[in-house]
Amino acid sequence: MLTSGTLLVAQTDKVRLALDKLVVAYPDLLAGHDAEALHWRDGTVMPVSDDTSSNTLSELLRHASVVDQFRIPYPHGPLEKPPIAGADPGRFRNTAFFTKMYGHCQKGEVLPRLVSFAWLPKTWGKPIRITSVNHVDEHLRAVSAEIDALPEKIKHAAYPVAGTYNCRAVVDTGQPSPHSYGIAIDLNTAHADYWYWQPHAGPITYRNRMPQEIVAIFEKHGFIWGGKWYHYDTMHFEFRPELLVE
Ligand SMILES: [Zn+2]
């Protein structure tokens, strides 16, 4: 039987598991955590609340806590069926956490941390810009080298790149886009499917033409894929290693 005590333990476990994953995923910036706060290496103590006041999808997309970020597990491996309604693992982002980590683009804090490198140097070779925080640039460079070695008919979904850094908000939430932190990349729009391009009436019909080989390479290096979202965005990848920690 579940008692309120059991629920409290379950709640505490959920918070601890979430904070453990964050500390494992971001060792450069996070030193550890206690039951109530994340401890950053610069000495900042960031209290983490797991109040359940945000429960609707639209509230969670705007006001997620760092614990809420883990509410919907990110599925490992190839998708077996389209995501169920409302399942957008990774779209809950705590703005304070990501802004602390990568900077606020409108205050000019993100730009100085961006580095440029040639995407798919053997195939396309144009420069793209991505943050160097958390070594995201090195992880993306490894992704680029592996995709570059794929057969042309597969890797064509990965170029030309549609965009990386962009100081803007997410279209349907108004919150800072992961592109505004310099942690996201959009691949070839000609091979992409995006829920927002669909007629807005009626349920969303899932579509995808992104090769699984490309998805698997990104995930191996700490990037999640927007093709695993009900609000699918199949050209979109973003550095979210906390969601890939086993
Ligand atoms: Zn994107």
pLDDT tens per residue across span 111-170: 999 999 999 999 999 999 999 999 999 999 999 999 999 999 999 999 999 999 999 988
Instruction: Please check whether residue 114 is in contact with residue 130, taking contact to mean a CB–CB distance below 8 angstroms.
Output: yes
H helical segments located in the chain: 4-25, 57-63, 95-102, 136-148, 152-155, 212-220
Q: How far apart are CA 65 and CA 95, in angstroms?
A: 9
The Å distance, Cα 16 to ligand 1 centre, comes to 30
Tokens 């570059």 sit at which residue?
Answer: 148
pLDDT of 1: 47
The Å distance, Cα 214 to ligand 1 centre, comes to 15
Give me the amino acid identity at 72.
I
Q: What is the value of pTM for the model shown?
A: 0.93
pLDDT of 60: 83
The Å distance, Cα 245 to ligand 1 centre, comes to 22
Q: How far apart are CA 47 and CA 192, in angstroms?
A: 39
How many CA atoms are closer than 13 Å to the CA of 233, on its beta-carbon side?
Answer: 22
Q: Report, as an integer, the average pLDDT of 66-79.
A: 92
The Å distance, Cα 169 to ligand 1 centre, comes to 11
pLDDT of 42: 97
The Å distance, Cα 236 to ligand 1 centre, comes to 4
Tokens 């609707």 sit at which residue?
Answer: 56
The Å distance, Cα 43 to ligand 1 centre, comes to 32
* Percent of the chain scoring above 70 in pLDDT: 94
The Å distance, Cα 101 to ligand 1 centre, comes to 19
Q: Report, as an integer, the average pLDDT of 3-28.
A: 82
Q: Phi and psi at residue 115, in whole multiples of 5°?
A: -125, 160
The Å distance, Cα 31 to ligand 1 centre, comes to 29
- What does the pLDDT look like over 179-237, one tens digit per residue? 999 999 999 999 999 998 887 777 889 999 999 999 999 999 999 999 999 999 999 99
- Asked if residue 171 has pLDDT above 80, the reply is no
pLDDT of 7: 56
The Å distance, Cα 177 to ligand 1 centre, comes to 8
The Å distance, Cα 164 to ligand 1 centre, comes to 7
The Å distance, Cα 1 to ligand 1 centre, comes to 45
